[in-house]
Amino acid sequence: MKLLLDTHALLWWWTNDAQLSAKAKRAIANDSNAILVSAASAWEIATKTRLGKLDIGPLALTRFAELVQADGFEHLPMTWQHCVHAGGLPLDHRDPFDRMLAAQSLIEDATLVTKDAAFGLFGMRVFW
């Protein structure tokens, strides 16, 4: 299975946070699953760190590439196709990070690992 991690799922994985569901933990730890980490997550972590909303942000940003690689995850860049699709999604969902993750999930045919029920409105597969 190909899984794309929402930013909170990624951070909770890195910090072993109890908020990450047991089902999500098992799926992320399963070596037969391809785990994608979007560049949008780095952007979201940087933005929330700048706004003072994410205490772990500085460490996560400093070690972002290292942590993704150490876990055997794959970096997913934002392409122009992802951007066009995100901008054209019909729902009035204002969070640009969510719109990008939804577009990437749809285009890359990846299931999004997220606790956020709003993603279901985009017509994509979600996993929690």
Q: Which two tokens mark 23?
A: 């089902």
Q: How far is the first Cα of the chain from the last one, in angstroms, to the nearest whole number? A: 14
pLDDT value of residue 123: 84
Domains of the chain: 2-127 (3.40.50.1010)
pLDDT in tens, the chain (128 residues): 999 999 999 999 999 999 999 999 999 999 999 999 999 999 999 999 999 999 998 999 999 999 999 999 999 999 999 999 999 998 777 889 999 999 999 999 999 999 998 888 888 899 99
Rounded to the nearest 10°, the torsion over CA 46, 52, 4, 81 is: -50
* ∠ Cα 51 20 83 (to 5°): 55
Q: What is the reported pLDDT for 126? A: 94
pTM (2 decimals)? Answer: 0.95
Token duo for residue 127: 């996993």
pLDDT of residue 43: 97
Please tell me the chain's helix, strand, coil percentages from 3-state DSSP, rounded to the nearest 5.
55, 15, 30
Residue type at 119? Answer: F
Q: Residue 54: its pLDDT value, please?
A: 94
Q: What is the pLDDT of residue 90?
A: 83
Q: What is the pLDDT of residue 92?
A: 73
